[in-house]
Amino acid sequence: MVPLLEPVGLGQIEGDIYLDLLAHPRSTPADVAGRLELPIARVRKALQRLHIAGLTARMAGTRNHYMAAPPEIAVDALVARRQQQLEQLRADMRDLASRVKDTRPPSEPMEIIELVEGVEAVAHHLGRIQLAAAEEVLIIDSPPYLFGQPVPNDEELQALQRGVRYRCIYHAPGLEDADHLEQMLTCVAAGEQARSLPDVRMKMIIADRRIALVPLSFLGPSSIRARILVHSSPLLDALVMCFEFLWSRATPIAGGPAAPTVALGEQDRRLLSMLASGIKDRAIARALGVTERTVGRRVQELMTQLQATTRFQAGLQAARRGWL
């Protein structure tokens, strides 16, 4: 649980002492230390920090008796002051970034590409790119994977929570791995827009259309050990165009609620979505927690309902009707 006053820069002890003073006004540092079982020296330091923040005050006519400021008054003022400090920090950082940029000699052009070597360095840049994203991240996901197998993308889940849009294209055969499929569905449930292609060997990540990370080779060990950072340039524009081209041809993988005009269960919707993405029955069965025979039987029933003679037609009809 986040300490009460952590959002305004104070720690657990300050929060505990503030709550204690609200319940026991006119307390001395010794009183507080006894109730909270804390060293009195730490209590005095914490009371000083609370006093500076405007959350406590010494009672008139005394030197050692403290009381807590009313929360609705003191905390509002403290939050407003902290917001002002953060806005000033943001302005200072923008000014600093501008000055650093201005110190570059006019004759020294910005590097369009940078070589990133080593698994740890590549992993570091993958995380940093996503943490710095403000608007949109584009990903093409295909093997060979950085760590030999797909790993949870915690940076993506954090970015989705703060409103960054993710669009990801998956190599469909890779989703036959149960763990990879489950990770993808977790991201889709968190807000990722996902599509798949039967065979896509290209891999990349592009953040805010200003920086991309691509492998030296799309096949073999070199695609794991080394990557290329691509900054804003016609080359980056071409990578974005390539992504959009593949995105327009990829099959959507549904993750949101079913279309309101169709009485389709959640499990059927997920089944159709994975079916349209080219995922095999065995992987679908694992993802849904049913038997492969159950998947086959339900697929046949849905094909009849959709008046489709092939699975491809079933996926196409489901997409056209808005079921995906």
3-state per-residue secondary structure call for the chain? CCCCCHHHCCCHHHHHHHHHHHHCCCECHHHHHHHHCCCHHHHHHHHHHHHHCCCEEECCCCCCCEEECCHHHHHHHHHHHHHHHHHHHHHHHHHHHHHHHHCCCCCCCCCCEEEEECHHHHHHHHHHHHHHCCCEEEEEECCCCCCCCCCCCHHHHHHHHCCCEEEEEEEHHHHHCHHHHHHHHHHHHHCCEEEEECCCCCCEEEECCCEEEEECCCCCCHHHHEEEEEECCHHHHHHHHHHHHHHHHCEEECCCCCCCCCCCCHHHHHHHHHHHCCCCHHHHHHHHCCCHHHHHHHHHHHHHHHCCCCHHHHHHHHHHCCCC
Domain end point (choices 230, 253, 276): 253
Given 74, 108, 142, the domain boundary residue is 108
Same domain, 125 and 103: no
Say yes or no: 191 and 77 in one domain. Answer: no
The residue-averaged pLDDT of 308-321 equals 71
Each residue of 253-285: pLDDT tens digit?
Answer: 765 433 334 457 788 888 887 877 778 888 888
Q: Is residue 258 part of a domain?
A: no
Look up the CATH number of the domain holding residue 43. 1.10.10.10
Q: What is the pLDDT of residue 269?
A: 82
Reported as a single tens digit per residue, the pLDDT across 215-260 is: 887 665 555 677 889 998 999 999 999 999 999 888 777 654 333 3
Whole-prediction pTM: 0.53
**Mean pLDDT, residues 197-223 taken together:** 81
Per-residue pLDDT band at 168 (split at 50, 70, 90): very high
Share of the chain above pLDDT 90, in %: 17
User: Residue 68 CB: number of other CB atoms within 10 A?
Assistant: 20
Q: Tell me: do 184 and 240 sit in the same domain.
A: yes
The total domain count for the chain is 3
| Residues of the domain holding 281 | 266-320
Task: Judge whether residue 45 has pLDDT over 80.
Answer: yes
pLDDT of 187 above 70: yes
* Domain end (from 66, 89, 108): 108
Shared domain for 103 and 117, answered yes or no, is no
Find the mean pLDDT for residues 105-112. Answer: 59
Give the residue-averaged pLDDT of 16-23: 89
Please tell me whether residues 164 and 235 are part of one structural domain: yes
169, 216: one domain: yes
Which whole number is the average pLDDT over 288-305?
Answer: 87
